[in-house]
């Protein structure tokens, strides 16, 4: 089994443990949706596709395991780190890239490294696509993402 599949198995276990069906549905759509956006943006930005997909899959692990808290990014980074260490198939450098990106992902206003920015963009994009009638958060970032993908978007005010 490949590394991506092994991480998916870990995430599936967390998602299957959700108490209600709506949380489970939202979790599956969000984590796999963000992971797919990470894949797309990694191809576009010529970053490591496998690592980016894994970053997306793991980024909200804390929330789906223990419930949402404001500090879920920092806590999730530690959670992801221990999961990756237990799998014993990731290098120290890879673990640090993943951990760093997850730890920064709530801070959408600051600019960090390429992997952190990719995750924030993938997260914002998934939220905006999940329900296009919701009010758009992080409009500036979303506009940049669209531009990066060669698309123009008319934003609702
Ligand atoms: Fe998220």
Count the neighbouring beta carbons within 10 Å of the beta carbon of residue 50: 14
Residue 121 and residue 78: Cα distance in Å, rounded?
21
Taking Cα atoms as reference points, which of 101, 120, 123 lies closest to residue 55? 101
Ligand 1 centroid, distance to 84 Cα (angstroms): 19
DSSP string for residues in 78-118: HHHHHHHHHHT-S-HHHHHHHHHHHHHTT-TTS---HHHHH
Question: What spacing in Å lies between the alpha carbon of 90 and ligand 1's midpoint?
Answer: 23
Task: Using the mean position of ligand 1's atoms as its centre, give its distance from the Cα of residue 19 in Å.
Answer: 19
Q: List the chain pLDDT tens, one digit each, 157 residues.
A: 899 999 999 999 999 999 999 999 999 999 999 999 999 999 999 999 999 999 999 999 999 999 999 999 999 999 999 999 999 999 999 999 999 999 999 999 999 999 999 999 999 999 999 877 778 889 999 999 999 999 988 765 5
Domain extents in the chain: 3-148
Tokens of 124: 């914002």
In whole angstroms, give the CA distance from residue 21 to residue 16. 9
State the architecture of 3-148 in CATH terms: Orthogonal Bundle (1.10)
pLDDT at residue 155, as a whole number: 65
List all residues 6 or more positions away from 56 whose beta carbon is below 8 Å from its beta carbon: 31, 34, 35, 36, 37, 38, 39, 119, 122
Expressed in angstroms and rounded, the spacing between residue 157 Cα and the centre of ligand 1 is 23
What is the pLDDT at residue 144? Answer: 95
Q: Which helix (H) or strand (E) holds 64?
A: helix 61-66
* Rg, Å, the chain Cα set: 15
Quote the ligand 1 centre to 92 CA distance (angstroms).
24
CA–centroid distance, 31 to ligand 1, in Å, is 7
Residue 102 CB burial class (10 angstroms; 0-12, 13-18, ≥19): buried
């Amino acid at each position: 089994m490949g590394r991506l599949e092994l991480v998916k198995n870990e995430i599936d276990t967390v998602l299957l443990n959700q108490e209600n069906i709506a949380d489970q549905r939202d979790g599956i759509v969000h984590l796999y949706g963000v992971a797919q956006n990470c894949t797309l943006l990694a191809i576009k930005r010529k970053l490591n596709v496998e690592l980016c997909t894994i970053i997306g899959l793991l980024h909200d692990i804390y929330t789906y395991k223990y419930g949402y808290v404001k500090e879920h990014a920092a806590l999730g980074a530690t959670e992801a780190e221990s999961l990756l260490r237990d799998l014993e198939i990731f290098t120290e450098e890879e673990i640090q890239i993943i951990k760093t990106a997850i730890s920064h992902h709530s801070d959408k206003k600051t600019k960090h490294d390429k992997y952190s920015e990719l995750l924030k963009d993938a997260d914002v994009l998934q939220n905006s696509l999940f329900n296009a009638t919701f009010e758009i958060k992080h409009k500036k970032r979303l506009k940049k993402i669209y531009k990066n993908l060669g698309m123009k978007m008319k934003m609702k005010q």
